[in-house]
């Protein structure tokens, strides 16, 4: 069969922070994609502010480079477990993968996850050992680790015969020899062209295009991105859109875009093997197939990951509502959430019995916290409830999501980590002593046991531990207490500004979350209590002025530094009877019921009801 020798389609897959995006930067620069006058930003593919700040890829991106008259389409994929569904769909668009592995860290949980998906799709792998310039790099051992992983994942003989390229993405160098680097990345370009199969040339057959990703543009509406699997598409052609449920809709192709460098370029024709974007179809969705009207043939559906975590999003009704945000009404918040659903296929937004609240379901804490962070940066004000796992009934049994967890810690901390994950109903599967004072532990843990665990884990391991987890499966619901916060909170009894004097009076009762001089309201959470019950405190108390001199008057008092919570920490900290108030300028924790006496009455009623049942 004929192939398109001028084209290669590859995806770059790896664990978080192994250098995928930096590698793409260098391939873009060295292929001459940019003109001499163009400035290329660091991690150019991560064009979203949050991606740049956190150094992670959230959304898959596609680009293309030219090398020796051949076009290489490159898809940069996310490495976080929350975006695993996106990785799986993208692999359907390509013929080969660059598996990037850190030459020091070796194979990690997401390496395993993404490689398993690539091998299942029968894709041709090229292994890139990145960060070879690190002083602690151990290339030979890591290549053995990668080979063991391939064998473990049932790779076929052709896949096991993978080429290895040793690279330093940050220096823009690569070679076939771990001991020395060439001055550029030509070795990597050549390895892609020689090893990744060229797409089949089926330009004469009836067209078939499948949507794998969605984009959204205010002027063009929804944009479907995917691969032309067969035939040729032309602007102006009549076509049929076959939906996931099999229904068909006729339309005309009005606009088509190709990718080159960091730009989308309008094109007139796309042929088999090309990755393109189509606009002009309102309800286009991931998995839909586009064909000619005289040859409607649906492609195999793309699996979309189900959400595993949900939260309530509410209109902000705190005493400070409307002070800091531009968009505060239920109409605006709902419209924004529905716009997000247009491009984020793993997100669900459902109405509740209240017109001011919605149930929002996503793939995990990171997925939902990034949505909330985007909303606050765009000027929205809202409140959110504690994240909860989505429970399913499978064969009459209530089941919840479980995660496979890999922990790398110094030997001294293994006991406390094993104990804390055991308390969260974690089951230890494996323990490997790596011989350099480091131990690798593998667990299966209910997802709800991991909500809020990362902060505890960091303090347990003094910041030396590394924890990674990815969704494993739905299993019967674990019984008893599974994770969650054991401590109570310090709740403000009145509105005003926090004072240094007021804070000094209560700092031995727990950990404070606010600086002196912060404006607060009644029912707002100002700190974590040392005990397991809530305590109402007066943190706005002023020192009484008298005209009597005190012998100890001028003694210097040192206050403990307050613990200022990030958005993720605030979401992890929440309990069932609390909300997190999110505005463009502030993150506040509060009780759902602000009034102390009403709160106490409800608590008594709840305890009586629990006793009777």
What are the boundaries of each domain within the chain? 7-195, 208-291, 392-476, 489-545+558-578+593-612
pLDDT at position 52, please?
A: 44
Give the model confidence (pLDDT) of 200-229 as tens digits.
Answer: 888 888 888 988 888 777 777 778 888 899
User: Per DSSP, what are the bridge partners of residue 600?
Assistant: none
pTM: 0.76
The CA distance from 351 to 354, in Å, is 8
Q: Of the CATH numbers 2.40.30.10, 3.40.1080.10, 3.30.365.10, 3.40.50.10440, which one belongs to the domain with range 208-291?
A: 2.40.30.10
The answer as to CATH 3.40.50.2300 being correct for domain 392-476 is: no
Residue 17 counted as an annotated binding residue: yes
Give the pLDDT band (50/70/90) at residue 57. Answer: very low
Residue 181: which of 189, 190, 192, 172 has the closest Cα?
Answer: 172
What local confidence, expressed as pLDDT, does residue 215 receive?
Answer: 79
Taking only the tens place, the pLDDT of each residue in 259-295 is: 876 677 888 988 888 888 888 777 788 888 888 888 8
| 558 against 415, higher pLDDT | 415
Sequence-distant (6+) residues with CB within 8 A of 47 are 61, 262
Residue (of 378, 228, 382) closest to 320 by Cα position? 382
User: What does the block give as tokens for 177?
Assistant: 């020899």
Query: Is 158 annotated among the ligand-binding residues?
Result: no
Domain 489-545+558-578+593-612 has CATH 2.40.50.250: yes
Contact 60, 75 (CB under 8 A): yes
Q: What backbone torsions phi and psi does residue 215 show, to the nearest 5 degrees? A: -130, 165
Integer angstrom CA distances of residue 348 from 407, 496, 518: 31, 39, 36
First to last CA, the chain: 71
Homologous superfamily, domain 7-195: P-loop containing nucleotide triphosphate hydrolases (3.40.50.300)
The label of the residue with tokens 């209109």 reads 315
Q: Cβ neighbours of residue 612 under 8 Å, at least 6 residues apart?
A: none
131 assigned ligand-binding residue: yes
> Which of left, alpha, beta for 212 (phi over 0: left; psi -120 to 50: alpha)?
alpha
CA R_g for the chain: 27
**How many CA within 13 A on the CB side of residue 99?**
29
**Mean pLDDT value of segment 134-142:** 86
pLDDT of residue 79: 58
Do the first three CATH levels of 208-291 and 489-545+558-578+593-612 match, i.e. the same topology? no
Residues 9, 227: contact at Cβ < 8 Å?
yes
Determine whether the annotation assigns residue 21 to a binding site: yes
User: In the structure encoding, which two tokens stand for residue 208, read together?
Assistant: 């078939």
For the stretch 353-394, pLDDT in tens is 999 999 999 887 878 888 898 899 999 999 999 988 888 888
Please report the DSSP string for 105-139 in residue order. T---HHHHHHHHHHHHTTPEEEEEEE-TTSTT--H
**DSSP 3-state of 431:** strand
**Rounded Cα distance, 596 and 213, in Å:** 49
133 is in an annotated binding site: yes
Q: Are 208 and 85 in contact (CB under 8 A)?
A: no
Task: Please state the rounded mean pLDDT for residues 540-544.
Answer: 79
- DSSP code for 488: -
- Tell me the angle at which helices 109-120 and 139-152 cross, rounded to the nearest 10 degrees: 50
**Average pLDDT of the residues of the chain:** 82
């Amino acid at each position: 069969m004929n192939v398109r020798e001028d084209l290669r389609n590859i995806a770059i897959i790896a664990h978080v922070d192994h250098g995928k995006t930096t590698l793409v930067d260098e391939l873009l620069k060295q292929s001459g994609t940019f003109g001499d006058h163009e400035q290329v930003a660091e991690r150019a593919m991560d064009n979203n502010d949050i991606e740049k700040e956190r150094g992670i890829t959230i959304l898959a991106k596609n680009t293309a480079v030219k090398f020796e008259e051949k076009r290489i389409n490159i898809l940069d994929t996310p490495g976080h477990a929350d975006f695993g569904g996106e990785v799986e769909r993208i692999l359907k668009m390509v013929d080969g993968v660059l598996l990037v592995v850190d030459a020091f860290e070796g194979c990690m949980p997401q390496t395993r996850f993404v490689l398993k998906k690539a091998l299942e799709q029968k894709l041709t792998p090229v292994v890139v050992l990145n960060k070879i310039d690190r002083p602690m790099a151990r290339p030979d051992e890591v290549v053995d680790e990668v080979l063991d992983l391939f064998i473990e994942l049932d790779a076929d003989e052709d896949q096991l015969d993978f080429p290895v390229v040793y690279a330093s993405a940050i220096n823009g160098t690569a070679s076939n020899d771990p001991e020395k680097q060439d001055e550029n990345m030509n070795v990597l370009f050549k390895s892609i062209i020689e090893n990744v199969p060229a797409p089949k040339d089926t330009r004469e057959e009836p067209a078939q295009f499948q949507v794998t990703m969605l984009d959204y543009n205010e002027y063009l509406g929804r944009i479907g991105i995917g691969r032309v699997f067969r035939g040729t598409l032309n602007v102006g052609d009549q076509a049929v859109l076959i939906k996931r449920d099999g229904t068909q809709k006729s339309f005309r192709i009005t606009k088509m875009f190709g990718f080159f460098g960091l730009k989308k370029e309008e094109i007139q024709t796309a042929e088999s093997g090309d990755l393109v974007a189509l606009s002009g179809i309102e309800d286009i969705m991931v998995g839909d197939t586009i064909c000619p009207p005289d040859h409607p043939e649906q492609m195999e559906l793309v699996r979309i990951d189900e959400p595993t975590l949900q939260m309530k999003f509410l209109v902000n009704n705190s005493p400070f509502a409307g002070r800091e945000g531009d968009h505060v009404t239920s109409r605006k918040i709902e419209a924004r959430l529905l716009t997000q659903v247009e491009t984020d296929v793993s997100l669900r937004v459902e109405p509740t019995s209240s017109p001011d609240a919605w149930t929002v379901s996503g793939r995990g804490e990171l997925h939902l916290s990034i949505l909330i962070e985007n909303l606050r940066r765009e000027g929205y004000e809202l409140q959110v409830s504690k994240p909860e796992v989505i429970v399913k009934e499978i064969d009459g049994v209530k089941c919840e999501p479980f995660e496979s967890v890999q922990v790398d810690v110094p030997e001294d901390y293994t006991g406390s980590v094993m104990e804390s994950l055991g308390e969260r109903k974690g089951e230890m599967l494996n323990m490997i002593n790596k011989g350099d004072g480091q131990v690798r532990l593998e667990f299966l843990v209910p997802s709800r046991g991991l909500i809020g665990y990362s902060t505890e884990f960091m303090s347990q391991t003094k910041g030396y531990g590394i924890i990674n987890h990815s969704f494993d499966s739905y299993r019967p619901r674990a019984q008893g207490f599974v994770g969650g916060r054991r401590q109570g909170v310090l709740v403000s009894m009145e509105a005003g500004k926090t004072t240094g004097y007021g804070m000094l009076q209560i700092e031995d009762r727990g950990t404070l979350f606010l600086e002196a001089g912060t404006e607060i309201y009644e029912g707002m959470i100002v700190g974590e209590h040392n005990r397991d019950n809530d305590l109402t405190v007066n943190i706005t108390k002023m020192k009484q002025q008298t005209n009597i001199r005190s012998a100890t008057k001028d003694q210097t008092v040192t206050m403990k530094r307050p613990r200022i919570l990030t958005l993720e920490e605030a979401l992890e900290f929440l309990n069932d009877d609390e909300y997190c108030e999110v505005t463009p300028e502030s993150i506040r924790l509060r009780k759902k019921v602000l009034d102390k006496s009403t709160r106490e009455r409800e608590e008594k009623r709840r305890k009586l009801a629990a006793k009777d049942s």
